[in-house]
Amino acid sequence: MLFFVLLGFITAVLVPLIKKISDNFLSWIIPIIPASIFFYFASFYYQIADGEVIKVSYSWIPSLGINFDFYIDGLSLVFAMIISLVGTVVYLYAGSYLKGDTRLSKFYIYISIFMSSMIGVVTSDNLMTLFIFWELTSISSYLLIGFNHEKESSRYSALQALLVTGLGGLALLAGFILLYITTGTWDISEINKMPAEVIGSSYFFLIVIFILLGTFTKSAQFPFHFWLPNAMEAPTPVSAYLHSATMVKAGIYLMARLNPAFGNSILWNDLLLVFGTATMLFAAVLSFKQTDLKKLLAYSTLSVLGTLTMLIGIGSDLAIKAFIIYLIAHSLYKGTLFLVAGIIDHETGTRNIEKLSGLRKLMPITMIIAVAASLSKMGIIPLVGFVGKETVYASVLELPIFGNYLIVITILANMFVVYITAMVGFRPFFGKLKSTPKNPHEAPFRMWSGPMFLALSGLVLGIFSSLFLNKLINSSELGIISERLNIPVKLWHGFNLELLLSTITVLLGLFLYFKREYFLKFVASFSSVKFVQPSYYYQFIFDGTLSLAKYITSKIQNGYLRFYILVILLTTFSLIAYTLHTFYSFNEINIGGSVSVYEVILAFILIISTLLAVSAKSRLAAIVGLGGVGYVIALFFLIYSAPDLAMTQFSIETLTVILFVLVIYKLPKYLSFSSTTRRIRDIIVASFAGLTMFFLVLVISGTSLTSELKEYFIAESYPSGKGLNVVNVILVDFRALDTLGEITVLAVAAIGVYSLLKLRKKDN
Amino acid sequence: MPQNSQEILLMLPHVVIGVGIVISLLIEMYSKKSETILPWISLFVFVFAGVHSIINISANQILFGGMLEVGGKPAIFNFIFNIGAALLILNSIDYIKKYESNHGEYYILIQSAILGMMVMAGSKDIFMIFIGLELMSIAFYVLAGINKKKSSSNEAALKYFLLGAFATGFIVYGIALIYGVSSTTSVDSIIQNFSTFTQNILFIVGLLLFIIGFSFKIAAFPFHMWVPDVYQGSATTVTGLMSTTGKTAAFSVLLIILSASLINYNIDIFAPYFAVIATLSMLYGSIVAIAQKNLKRMLAYSSISHAGYMAIGLAAANSEAFSGIIFYLAAYTFMNIGAFGIISIIEKQNDANTDLTAYAGLASKSPILAAFMSLFMFALAGIPPLAGFFGKYYVFISAIEADLTWLAVVGVFSSVISVYFYLRLVVYMYFKESEKDIDLHIDKYSLLSVVVSGILVIYFGISPDSLLNLILSVVN
């Protein structure tokens, strides 16, 4: 199992080696990889259809409970088979589509990584490994969307897709972690067994929001849908693979997978229903004014993704049945139509629907494929799309209260889908032949064979739906709801309401198609209001962040040391002031004790020196002021019986003043002072810092700090140091090393002064 | 005396580096070939100290009457410091020659800085912490200005020194207050009686100043001011060392505060402080990094936001956070050293140009360097399954367990922003064409260093268990 899941990564490593033989060889041989993965998963079909579940586990990070646990049930199997089947077609197709392109091997590397990650997402039973594969799909899709990287728009779209899905991915991680904390396990199958714990959790609301952020961004649900049409910058095989059949369905997959745990909550169901329906309708309406083949398809994909989300939200047995059939049907016909769009683009050199017409004679095979896929998409009997649409309608109709409203919305949205299909599947082929940038020919074998196969599968699955799909849907463990479905799948249900609605939808869609000129004017006036477009907000936030970044850089990181110091002082002293304010009541301050005359005089000198240092107009005067401050402090030390400290302070102070004078003497005079406002700002900050320190010192003096040293020194001074003068003994005995250090510092400073003096002599 | 000699044997990594410094000094003074000898001596002492520490990780002991701890947690830190430094020495060999600042003091200073870090990580006494810190910081001040002929390098050194002096001042003042209240300098007894001491306002203020001082060193907002200017101005290899091992050393001290809250469960007075610092650093770093045109400056802001992610763990203050931060530091060190290694290679070829534009079209000129640079960028952005992802994952999960979910959400949000600027470099390398045609010469030692860092980043990502189990074994 692990081998087949990781086969794509192995392939990615091997591609450069195979490429050395020849590009052509590579493109012929490589479709074997997805094909073998397809057959591997297909071999489980009967086991799964009989209701078995396959679990395989490989340990990875056991200490965190993160392991490669794989879990194959009906849901995973359907996805894995779609991924590998469409993968095979796309690999084959790309060999011809990118023929002669030097980047062919790069393409195969990226897409192999993508395919493996995607398989990993749908088979993982462990939330963490699922997340890791999930992120890898985002990264590889970034590389694939930006494949034509010389185009600015291509890079822009790739980045947009990555940022939107990346944001969602990380939200998903947050949701997963909360889910883990709630349930105590990473195993999805275990989590699905405890819906009561999940729904009852205090984190439940957050979990739902985070997980839905992840799935909605990935599956391009409203309001995050805007990245998908832009992602059409990617080469067509990529769009066919990522943006219709696989990656955009990862979110849908996850919602379906987690539905047993969340499905019983009103919050989950309502959010899915509301956003699914909104996406379905919104995308369908937006598609109307598109003229680009691929963008048309992108909007119709969006609409389908919305429908699928809505179906999970409904959550009834019938809805789940519709979900699976619709999913399969869509992957088959939408992949086909994308590939057809690629063929048309490749052959004619344009994707503009206005320029394409009458290709039926030049490209008959392509036309047959396109028509077959379109009919399936429109929901015409006997294709699988018909079965899908019938079931969707049936499940919506089944809803008790608002089913009637919802069916109108669904029909409306599907009407647009029919319109899109007509535009993509019919319009280019019928009517009069128009001239195009390139002279169109029939596509080469490799390009049409894959789509043809997919289109045929749609037909086969439709006609023989009771044969193939019935068993899988009926009796396998789908894992979306806890029970098995037991609803037979068949093509023909007789003349009923759903058939009538299907017919109405197709007729309405065709009406829209033929009368589009009239409706276009109406829609154009509606959607030109930019405020309703979420992409406008994306752009706003994107640009806003960039200019914010530039603004902050110029304001805060301006390179001025004085500003840096200002910020640091302000922060530090605010924090100290805050701490003092919160934890200390100032009644406790004890300003006792007598003040001697000396102290008053010294304090007076101190204040004057400080003012002198601050206000001096020359550097020399400022230094003198600072020196004064230093000496006064030394004198304070002396008064408070610390002669050693005082001595050190005196000598250091003297040396620093000399050093300063020697250095600063050479500097030019002050050229300009800062502006008055700046100085006022500085005064405020400085006073604040000074006052805070003042209070802190008051607090310190009011607290009795216990020191065992004092007693120790007094007691040991004579017995150990043989001296009666305690201070002397401390200096030369107890702290002899300290004193040595002080002397050394003095010596070093003196050497500095000496060398500066020597430099001056040389200068003269 | 036998007791002491045994203790000296136990701290062999420190001794080897100390002896290395002395020998290097002598060689520098008396040998004319010191340029070629010194790198190898440094490399030897670092590799020896790193490997020796990690092998003897289980020999956890406290030496010299409760001064220095060896084995256990310090051993992991010593491993990070020494292997990180060894990788940077490999990078420096060619780089330093090129910039004609090929003086022995470069290697001597790096050895001193690393010794300082090792003392910090192992210290069991607040004065030891201070000695280690100053040994490291002073070596860094000089190293920042090692490129004497470049004015930006001089500016960096001066700014770093002046702002660093503030940090030191705060720390000393803090230590004085802490000692005044607790009348002990032993880290263990301070931790044990933490809840009693915190009754005293002066202890809290002292600790606050102590933490603020180290907030400088980890480059957390708003004490990050020096970081962009110093990172950009210093020689690239020095920046690499400062931003990784220097930050790790500062965190190794801050973890003491964390272990104090772990033992005294209800004491989390600093949780709000760390939570605010974390939030501001993450957002500020990530947002401002977007606007940068210079790669070194961009990585400086990225380093600020990474400090923020790790500070989440300090705010969460639980045992997951403890091991999470250590893992994060290891991961961060190796991915950043790799990135700076590549910068130093490109810089040499391109007239000291470290702008993003210098990387345009690198993928076609040197696919290996471009691939490794992308690897480091992806790892820094926290993309799984690389080392950076698990680092972030551990701290986020610790925050959620500590009921600080909002902090994890801010972290996630900032990670998304950061994807943008890390990826921008990848875009330059792969999606743009180079303007100048330069002949890219990659010296083999630098390449070796980059490859080793890359392998470690992948290995810690694919098999995080290997490192995590080691961390868990010493934390418990």
List CB contacts of B427: < 8 A, sequence separation 6 or more: A146, A149, A155, A159
Does the beta-carbon distance from B288 to A552 stay under 8 Å? Answer: yes
Expressed in angstroms, the distance from the first to the final Cα of chain A is 85
**Greatest distance between any 2 Cα atoms in chain B:** 68
Task: Return left, alpha or beta for A599; rule: phi > 0 is left, psi -120 to 50 is alpha, else beta.
Answer: alpha
The pLDDT value recorded for residue B168 is 92
The average confidence (pLDDT) of chain A is 80
Pick among A224, A553, A567 to test the B interface (most B CBs inside 10 A): A553
Closest residue in A to B472 (Cα) is: A63
Give per-residue pLDDT as tens, A268-306. 888 888 898 888 888 887 777 777 888 888 888 888 888
Distances in Å between the Cα of A330 and the Cα atoms of A432, A741, B276 are: 30, 83, 49
Q: Which of A438-442, A486-490, B233-237 has the highest mean pLDDT?
A: B233-237
Is B410 part of any domain? yes
Q: What number is the average pLDDT over the span A351-379?
A: 78
- Number of domains, chain B: 1
The structure tokens listed for B355 are 């702008």
Contacts of A162 in chain B (CB under 8 A): 419, 423
Residues of B in contact with A127 (CB under 8 A): none
Residue B11 lies in a domain: no
Q: Alpha-carbon distance A480 to B386, whole Å?
A: 32
Contacts of A759 (CB under 8 A, 6+ apart): none
User: For residue B389, is it within any domain?
Assistant: yes
Alpha carbon distance A286, A534 (integer Å): 13
What's the gap in Å between the CA of A239 and the closest CA on chain B? 20
Number of H helices, E strands in chain B: 22, 2
**Residue B458 tokens, joined:** 């992948």
Per-residue exposure over A729-749, b if at least 16 CB sit within 10 Å of its own CB, e if not: bbbebbeeeebeebeeebeeb
Tell me the chain B residues in contact with residue A552 when contact means C-beta distances shorter than 8 Å: 284, 287-288, 291
Segment holding A69, helix H or strand E: strand A66-72
Query: B151 lies in a domain?
Result: no
Residue range B129-157, pLDDT digits in tens: 999 999 999 999 999 888 888 888 888 89
Higher pLDDT, residue B341 or A2: B341
Q: Quick check: is B319 in a domain?
A: yes
Question: Do residue A579 and residue B204 have CB atoms under 8 angstroms apart?
Answer: yes
Q: What is the pLDDT of residue A314?
A: 83
Tell me which residue in A61, A132, A136 faces B465 most closely, judged by beta carbons. A61
B153 neighbors B144 (Cβ within 8 angstroms): yes
- Please tell me if residue A152 touches chain B, with a CB cutoff of 8 Å: no
Task: Report the alpha-carbon distance of residue A123 to residue A132 in Å, rounded.
Answer: 13
In this prediction, residue B1 has a pLDDT band, given cuts at 50, 70 and 90, of very low
Per residue in A320-349, pLDDT (tens digit) is 888 888 888 888 888 888 888 888 888 887
Decide if pLDDT at B96 tops 90. Answer: no
Q: Report the 3 state secondary structure along B360-406.
A: CCHHHHCHHHHHHHHHHHHHHHCCCCCHHHHHHHHHHHHHHHCCCHH
Structure-block tokens of residue A759: 């430099």
Asked whether residue B176 is domain-assigned, the answer is: no
Query: What distance in Å separates the CA atoms of residue A122 and residue A129, rounded to the nearest whole number?
Result: 11
Residue in chain B closest to A577 (alpha carbons) equals B205
pLDDT of residue B3: 65
Amino acid in the structure at residue B430:
Y
Backbone φ and ψ for A231, nearest 5 degrees, come out as -70, -5
Residue B95 in domain: no
CA distances from A9 to A33, B190, B374 (A): 11, 53, 17
Please tell me the predicted confidence (pLDDT) of residue A182: 84
Closest to B319 measured CA to CA, from B214, B395, B406:
B395
The whole-number pLDDT of residue B454 equals 93
CB contact at 8 A, A614 and A628: no
- Give the span between the Cα atoms of B320 and B313, in whole angstroms: 8
Residue A426: pLDDT above 50?
yes
Task: Answer whether B423 sits within 8 Å of A549, measured CB to CB.
Answer: no
Answer whether A311's CB lies under 8 Å from A62's CB.
no
pLDDT for residue A427: 78
The 10s digit of each residue's pLDDT in B307-335 is 999 999 988 888 888 889 999 999 999 99
pLDDT at A169 over 90: no
Domain hosting residue B323, numbered range: 270-476
Cβ-nearest to A139 among B202, B205, B383: B383
**The token pair that represents B113 in the structure block:** 């800085």
- Express as a percent the part of chain A with pLDDT over 90: 2
Please report, as a single letter, which amino acid is at residue B84: G
What gap in Å lies between CA A306 and CA A274, rounded to an integer? Answer: 10
Length of chain B: 476
A to B CB pairs, distance under 8 Å: 147
CA-to-CA distance for A296 and A291, rounded, in angstroms?
7
A206 touches chain B (CB under 8 A): yes
Please tell me the predicted confidence (pLDDT) of residue B112. Answer: 94
Could you read off the pLDDT of B221-235 as tens digits, one per residue? Answer: 888 888 888 898 888
> What per-residue confidence (pLDDT) applies to A764?
58
Percent above pLDDT 70 for chain A:
91
For A3-41, how does the pLDDT look when each residue is reduced to its tens digit (9 = 90+)? 888 888 888 888 777 777 777 777 788 888 888 888 888
pLDDT in tens, B414-447: 888 888 888 888 888 887 777 666 677 788 899 9
The full DSSP string for A389-415 is HHHHHHHHHH-SSTHHHHHHHHHHHHH
Three-state secondary structure readout of A356-387: CCCCCCCCHHHHHHHHHHHHHHHCCCCCHHHH
C-alpha span between A52 and A38 (Å, rounded): 19
Collapsed DSSP state (helix, strand, coil) of residue A723 = coil
Contact assignment for A549 to B290 by CB distance below 8 Å:
yes
CA B365 – CA A101 distance, rounded (Å): 20
pLDDT at position A474 is: 66
Q: Cα(A218)–Cα(A224) distance, rounded to whole angstroms?
A: 9
Contact B202 A699 (CB under 8 A): yes
Contact state of B223 with A571 under an 8 Å Cβ cutoff: yes
Instruction: Report the distance separating Cα A341 and Cα A461, nearest Å.
Output: 23
**pLDDT > 50? residue A146:** yes
Residue type, B187: V
Residue A526 predicted with pLDDT over 70: no
Q: Which two tokens stand for residue A26?
A: 């590579």
**Peptide bond preceding A31 in cis form (omega within 30 of 0):** no
pLDDT at B457: 92
Beta carbons of A575 and B273 less than 8 Å apart: yes
Strand partners, B355: B294
* Confidence (pLDDT) at A242: 82
Spell out the residues 6+ positions from residue A215 whose beta carbon is closer than 8 angstroms to its own.
Answer: A168, A172, A221, A250, A251, A252, A254, A255
Burial class (CB in 10 A: 0-12, 13-18, 19+), A724: exposed
The CA-atom distances, in angstroms, between B234 and each of A21, A622, B115 are 48, 32, 21
CB B449 within 8 A of CB B43: no
Measured CA to CA in angstroms, residue A321 lies from A252, A273, A326, A481, A493 at distances of 15, 16, 8, 11, 15
pLDDT on residue B135: 94
Distance between CA atoms of B312 and B277, rounded to whole angstroms? Answer: 9
In the structure, what pLDDT confidence band is assigned to residue B114 with cuts at 50, 70 and 90? very high
- Residue whose token pair is 């921008």: B424
Dist CA B363 CA B454 (whole Å):
17
Question: Would you tell me how many other CB atoms lie within 10 Å of the CB of residue A257?
Answer: 26
Q: Which parts of B236-291 fold into alpha helices (H)?
A: 236-241, 247-263, 271-290
Which residue, among A104, A126, A229, A127, has the nearest Cα to A177 in the 3D structure? A127
Which of left, alpha, beta for B14 (phi over 0: left; psi -120 to 50: alpha)? Answer: alpha
Q: Which of B12-16, B26-30, B148-152 has the lowest mean pLDDT?
A: B148-152
Q: Which residues of A101-125 are buried (b: 16+ CB within 10 A; e: fewer)?
A: eeebbbbbbbbbbbbbbbbbbbbbb
Mean pLDDT of B82-89: 94
Q: Among A185, A303, A203, which Cα is nearest to A244's?
A: A303
| Class of residue B103 by CB neighbours under 10 A (exposed 0-12, middle 13-18, buried 19+) | middle
ipTM for the predicted complex = 0.86
What's A582's DSSP letter? H
Query: For A631-641, how does the pLDDT look when each residue is reduced to its tens digit (9 = 90+)?
Result: 999 998 888 87
First to last CA, chain B: 32
Q: Which of A267-276, A470-479, A588-597, B450-459 has the lowest mean pLDDT?
A: A470-479
Residue B150 makes CB contacts below 8 A (sequence gap 6+) with: B233
Confidence of residue B21 (pLDDT cuts 50, 70, 90): very high
Peptide bond into B222 cis (omega under 30): yes
How many C-alpha atoms does A121 have within 13 Å on its Cβ side?
Answer: 29
A661 vs A133, higher pLDDT? A133
Confidence of residue A608 (pLDDT cuts 50, 70, 90): very high
Does the CB of A555 have a partner CB in chain B at under 8 Å?
no
More confident site: B1 or B302: B302
Residue B130 lies in a domain: no
List the beta bridge partners of residue A67: A59
Dihedral of CA atoms A453, A459, A464, A465 in degrees, nearest 10, equals: 100
Q: In this structure, what token pair is assigned to residue B424?
A: 């921008």
Distances (CA, A) of A580 to A37, A197, A356, A573, B172: 68, 45, 78, 10, 19
